[in-house]
Structures are given as C-alpha cells and as structure tokens.
Structure 1
Amino acid sequence: MEKGASFGLFRCCMLFAVIPILFPYHCQGNWMWLGSTASGITEKMGCLGLPLSNKQKDLCKRKPNLLPTIKEGARIGIYECQNQFKHERWNCSITNDYSVFGYELTSGTKESAFILAVMAAGLVHSVTRACSAGNLTECSCDRSRQSGGSADEGWHWGGCSDDIQYGLAFSRKFIHSSEKPSSPDLAGEKEARETMILHNSEAGRQAVSKLLSVNCRCHGVSGSCAVKTCWKTMSSFDKIGQFLKEKYEHSVQILDRSKKKVRRKDKVQRKVPVNRDDLVHIKKSPNYCVEDKKLGIHGTRGRQCNRTSPAADGCNLLCCGRGYNTHVVRHVERCDCKFVWCCYVRCRRCETMTDVHTCK
C-alpha cells in the first residue's frame, strides 16, 4: 500500500475512533451531523459508517429509504436555528466536526434547549412531509380524516391531511435510540441533563403538532363556496422556528438535580407546573460577547451590525457596548441595460457607496 493511501486510512480510522468521545450517551447530537454534510456523502458512507448509535444504525439498515428524510430533517433544523439567531450575540454557528453545534449542544443552557427542540421538530416535519408526498412506504396521508365534518356549515374532511402521528413517533424512536450508560443509575446533574434532553425534544415535537392548520378548497357552481373540502397540514418550518424562538426567550430554569421530574429552580414558583411545550434549561448562558476558545465561543468582534437598529442586531447591543468600526464598501454593477438592434445589450456602469459597521 502506498504511503499516501495508508495515511488516509489512518486518518479515517482515527476520525471514527473519536466519535464515542465527542458523543457521550446523553448527547443526542450525532445524527445532527447529517444535516451539515454535502449531498451524496452520507449515501456513500452507508448506515454503518455514519456517526450514529448502534440502535440508530440498526434502524437505518432496516429502513435505508428513510436516510434522505432524516438528513433533510437535520438540514432544516440547522438552517432554522441559524435563521432565528442570525442577528443575536449567539448566532447558532456550527463546527466542522461531528458535534455540529459544539459546546452549546451539551451546555445545559437555553441555547442547548433550542437546539434540541428545533432539531426534533425538523425530523417530525421532514418525515411527515415525506409521508404526505408518498415518498415512504411506511406511511401516507392521515386517512382517519377522510370522512366527517359539518354538514350544517357546508364542509367536510378530505384531501390529504398530514399524518403527523407517524412523524412524532419516528422522531421519538430515532432521536432517543442512543446508547445506554454503563451504569444504569444516573445521579445529580447527569440525570437532570437527560431529563432536559427528553423534555426539550418533546417540546419541539409539540410545536409542530400545536401549529397544525386547516386548509380548505371551495366547490360550487361558478366559483361559489357552497361546499368546502378541508384537510390539516403542518405550518411552514420558519413559523415553527419562530414559535420555538419565543419559547427560548421565556425558557424555564429547572433544578440541576431533578429526578425524572421537571421542577423550577425558583423556589417561589417551584409548585407551578412546567408545560410540555415550554423549553427548559439547567444552566445560565455564558457571555457570548467575548471570545472563549475553550468553549468554542467566537464572540461578536468583527460581526456586522446595524447602527440605527434598537433591536438585537443594533451596534449597541450586538457589540456589547465596545463600539464599532465604520468602513465604506464600493459596489460596482451594470445598470440601465438596453437591447440594441441587432444584437447585443448595452449597459451603464453604476457605482454605489455603502457604510458598513462592524463590532470592535
């Protein structure tokens, strides 16, 4: 074997050897890597080569046609996380390794809570959408809604309602098919983290279910709406992401030594129950203003900000009071294009100058 080939094989073996270190049993994040890979890579690696738990690999081998759908669920989850936080101090940046989200995934903070929720929701959304599109043999439309309705109001169930129950069940089965620890007894913070993982993942799934909407189509002479056929469909994923972002803003801090029960840390509100669709965390968020290489926090230095905005993307908030630099960017583009007979397009060369502000 040539030296270059043997070195490449060594690197590959070393890469997969560190997967158990990157993903302890309580970390559900390994499957999320599928959403950050280029098209075709996961298919070439096959189920056994992917950074999945043994149970997830078995599920993948038994139902290989689900792999593209799982990958799509991870992709839309990552995209929506970055979309919702693109103007925040923590902008849901991802890493180049299998951990995808780095420190935030297992930090126990409200950022970790959002990641768990949006990724679980992404898997539900992707699987349910594939069912309705007829791309999976295991499921289809929700046929329980093919009859019934309200004759008095002139509508009935029909069409192709999304079979969200299959998506919910698959998300639970796949995400929580992780390896069990060597010791069956969890204690203290580890148990609280496991509780947090289960709760936030379910909160993400509940968001998809809660935001189901009813669509209707009219039937009648000359476009009248004498009779309507209605069906249930999922909301767009950006709407689900926005709902989860609001839950993130009001995330509930729970005891870091909870025993299979989610309990608020605030003693005054200890007896107030935590709803299934609430996001929960056990640790306060770190300071995302300043770079922390140990935790993989990039800080906000160099981030582009909006000088006139009072919101999170404003220079005052995003730059954490450090101030900002302003530089002028020159844009050159073709403009006022006209077709000249025959046969070419003549354009002017236009220049614009724009002020760009970046955090100090």
Structure 2
Amino acid sequence: MKQLQVKTSSSEYPIYIGEDCLSVLAPFLQQATQTIVVTDQTVYDLHYQKLSHVLPENTITYIITPGESSKSFDCYHQIQTFLIESQVDRQACLLAFGGGVVGDLAGFVAATYMRGIDFIQIPTTLLAHDSAIGGKVAINHELGKNLIGAFYPPKAVVYDLRFLRTLSEKEWRCGLAEMVKHGFIANPSLLRQLLQIQSLDALLDETFAQLLIQSLMVKMEIVQMDEFEQGCRAYLNFGHTFGHAIELDEKELSHGEAVAIGILFSLYLSEHIFGIDLAIGQYLTYLKRLHFPLPFNVDHAKRYLGYMMHDKKNQRKQVRFVLLNQLAKPELVSFSIAGLETLLKQFLSEFTTKEERVCH
C-alpha cells in the first residue's frame, strides 16, 4: 500500500492507495458517533459487501440512482432529510463510496449538514482518482455543472484498487481522460506513457498502478499550492470548459469522454493562439485507438457556446480557457463570445471533416 499526504494551509489528510486497504478506515470510524454510507445502486451491488466488513454495526446507508442526474437539488435535499430523520449528529462520519458523482454529492451533503460533518472519500472508479482529492464538492444546476458547491476537504481518501476490476470500458476511458489531462498540464513523461497505451486491456497490468500514482501526485501537488483555486489550481480545468458543454449536450457521454473532447478543443485553441505544435494528430489517434466517442456537431455550436457562457472560470462576460503555451505550461486565456464562436465553428467543421474522412 502506498500512502501520500495532502498538506494545505487549512487541512491535512492522507491518501491510501493499494489492494485491500479498507482496514485503514477503522481508526476514523471508531472516533465517530455514527457512520453513514452514501453510494449508488451499481456500487452497492458490486462492492458493498467488501466495505461492510469494516463498518460499525450502527452504520446506515443511503443509495442513489447511478449517474449525473443524481447531482441535483432534489437528491441533495433527500439525503439531508434522511440524515435529519435518522438523528445523525455533528460527530458522525459520512463515507462517499462510489465514483465522482457520489463523491461530489456526498461531499457537499457533508459540508452543509449541521454546518459540516466529517467525510471520507472511497473512490471506486478511475475517474474519481481526480475528483476525490482536493475537497471540491458540488451539485449541478440546469444551467451548468458544479455551480453550487464548496471547498470541503475529506478526512482521508481510501483508494482500494480492487474496485477498478469491475469497470466498464467506458469508465476506463472516463478516468484516462483526467490522467491525460494531468500529463498535458504538468507531467510530459506521464503523458507520453499514456498516449502509448495500445488497448484498455493494458490497464489491468501492475505497471498501470504506477501511472495512476503519478497522476494522483500531479493533482495533490497543485492542490497543495492552491487549495481554493485562486491561481494554478484552475489549470486542472484543462479540457473542462468545452468538455462540460458537450457533456450537457450529449447525454450519452461520460464526464471523462466529454473532457477528452474538451482537451482536443483546448489543444486546437492553444495552437491557434500561441502558434505552436502540440501534436494534435497523435492525441486524436490515441482517442480513436481506445474508441473514445467523438460526436462533433457543427449545428450545435450555438448550444455549446450557451453552456460555456455559464462556466465558473468566466470573468467579465468573457469565456476563459486553460490553454498550453507549451507542454506542462498552462495559462488562462479569455475569449469574447464572438471570437470564441468563430474558432469553435472552425474546430467543429475541421474535425467533423477529419472524422468523415477516417470513416470512409
């Protein structure tokens, strides 16, 4: 088992990574008056029995519907009501047992129930290696993702790698996109190794755990430098501005699959703005090799733009993107709505054409 330690100006907490490491939960749960598990139905069916061996007898569990739709006001309110009716007190500990949706939702519940109770992230997906660290918790609004939330660090992150073995190919792609993001913004060596992956089967190899730890360390180091996203932490949104827009529009896409497309657009903008070569072709080949969906649609440009106008990074009615002036050198760049619309249509037209050419 590998242990990392996140140290910020306001908090410090451990990250445990390894096979069969749930026993590390014991000292945290012994200190709590009650344990609450928030999970979704899929994770409950697949993995709850493993977790149950380390849970106290008085544990209560709330199961949500899998998927992004659960990051809603309604679901948030229902869980708060459940906690109140169960007479959960301020010394309880909430376990967010699942992927990014569960972690974001349960973390926001913990941050706001009785002005805050302890919670622990127990991620069960590859994607959650990114979202479980750093204390950003939120629910969605119909006008945009993660617009209602808080910074609320967990007491610990427990990443048992056994849970990854049941992931679908879609979920593997979802998590890989965030790892690739970390490579682009901070670790070219990690990026190089990830882009050389020939198939998703390779991710079950033992060496993949080392790549995962490298990715976790990128996230950890950035969070330690900028806990509340006043500076460099915003770089972790690389690929997310357009990614969130296309995710809201294309309901069949997972978050990571949408971010992968968002990265493609960010690379395109970076080359246009800075006049550099970021080898977009190599990245596009990687996406196709691992069967990432690429639903480019020029006719949806206005709709995408509308979603991007509500992005959290925006300032003074300009849309801000994280771009690269070279590998591992990100910076924030602002676009007027009109200027962004022109570039977006160019991108969609060019890459739709490329897709058609490949299909023929």
Q: So what's the TM-score if we normalise by structure 1?
A: 0.25
Higher helix share: 2
Rg: which structure is higher? 1
Q: Normalising to structure 2: TM-score of the pair?
A: 0.25
